[in-house]
Structure 1
């Protein structure tokens, strides 16, 4: 669960030749340090791709635009990793401010295709569907930097929520397997998440996520076998190690796990 205390050392910044993070000032137990808004550009290009402009926070949007325009560049495209408000609420307003199109999956934006290669100002971005956290979750590979922008599919610290009923554990496990395949092929070596710090070892993090999900699933199975009859009762047993402030989110993940167990008896 993404409920660890905020890391005071993560304040955004550059993570490679092509990616810069502007941290939104919306920290919480669920958003960690805040939402990471990513600015992507090929070195020397004046065209920028913005990933997840964040909540409707005019100060943050102005800060993002200043980071772009102060270096003589412009926003050419906005991408959304998914439709949750802390990532996408400001998308329409940001489009008004920049004149740039917004592309995403679902919620009226069904225009990103699996495996699609986006090219902006010499920058290549590959579209990788990663549903599970939500049904519309998508990640983006920067092939030149071997990094994957993961949104909420994998975080920089802790683990994420399978936001049932829109989210699906089966889809989430398939997405983690898809990312694992990218790490094994060497196409992805680092992760640029939607919350928390840059991840230098993508392969180890994906392995941890897969192991963690398997362990949690077995814990849920045992809790049910031991008599837990509701998702809330399961949370009290299985998620006793996470802060109570994130128990409502944990209950969503438990609902997703119970659904998975019903379908895979």
Structure 2
């Protein structure tokens, strides 16, 4: 079922529902998934990633249930632009890793446990996509728990590293940390819900290692001084022009990792 064919708020897991924001695009896929977390009967909810500054979208989130808390996975505008307005509509504090994106709330810290709306969340620092990226682990959501991954793990495709803020060494360490959570349900920032986080993470890691091998081969052909544009032409020869800059960012991140 899609928001176009059914209710605007859809079930993602035992403790999570979501609304798809109206901001589709090459980088945001179908749009941003804005999550409402809460145990059945709690009467309140935690919103994760309010999404863009779209009044109808934000009012739908605010009008579904009393919002107790608003959390942000990372700084990108497709996740944060509506946060201040949702704070105005609900009075709920907004918390993020970066204080710039906090409104009436304090910055989040790695290892912090949050209890709100009848659910327990563990805050995990997961840098790589961006330096401030967080994931939220819901250990009691279903048989294996669930993890809200923001853009660290997507429901479709692979994650772009926003270099130089996002770095490959950090990202590989993040994948190791997430894999240890086992077959948790993946609640991604974009795309469909996925089973088995550990299996998804292994596929992500394999993809990164394959790309590194391709870049090593390109460096061998073009010479060690080859630039980002040259290597992108060689490794991402069929890339859509709409995501060319993202491909160059990924190449730059991988070159920095190899040359370090």
TM-score under structure 1 normalisation? Answer: 0.89
Cα distance in structure 1, aligned partners of 2:62 and 2:38: 14
Residue 154, structure 1, aligned to residue 153, structure 2: yes
Shift of 1:45: 0.1
Cα distance in structure 1, aligned partners of 2:119 and 2:231: 46
- Which residue is 1:174 aligned to? 173
Shift of 1:60: 1.1
- Which residue is 1:4 aligned to? none
- Aligned counterpart in structure 1 of residue 198 of structure 2, from 182, 194, 203: 203
Cα distance in structure 2, aligned partners of 1:178 and 1:241: 32
Shift of 1:133: 0.3
TM-score under structure 2 normalisation? Answer: 0.90
- Evaluate the alpha carbon distance shift between residue 193 and residue 251 of structure 1 in structure 2; reply closer, same or farther with a 3 A threshold: same
Residue 117, structure 1, aligned to residue 113, structure 2: yes
Shift of 1:165: 1.0
- Which residue is 1:19 aligned to? 16
- Which residue is 1:61 aligned to? 58
Cα distance in structure 2, aligned partners of 1:17 and 1:103: 23
Aligned length: 247
Structure 1, unmatched stretches of 5+, are 1-7
Shift of 1:241: 4.4
Q: Which has the higher contact order (CA 8 A, sep 6+)?
A: 1
Cα distance in structure 2, aligned partners of 1:237 and 1:27: 29
- Which residue is 2:78 aligned to? 86
Asked if the contact 1:83–1:107 (Cα under 8 Å) also holds between the matched residues in 2, the reply is no
- Which residue is 1:254 aligned to? 251
Q: Give the secondary-structure state (helix, strand or coil) at the position aligned to 1:247.
A: helix
Question: What is the alpha-carbon root mean square deviation over aligned residues?
Answer: 1.8
Cα distance in structure 1, aligned partners of 2:83 and 2:35: 14
Shift of 1:160: 0.9
- Aligned counterpart in structure 2 of residue 101 of structure 1, from 93, 101, 106: 93
Shift of 1:27: 0.6
Asked if the contact 1:12–1:36 (Cα under 8 Å) also holds between the matched residues in 2, the reply is no
- Aligned counterpart in structure 2 of residue 222 of structure 1, from 211, 217, 223: 217
Asked if the contact 2:17–2:37 (Cα under 8 Å) also holds between the matched residues in 1, the reply is yes
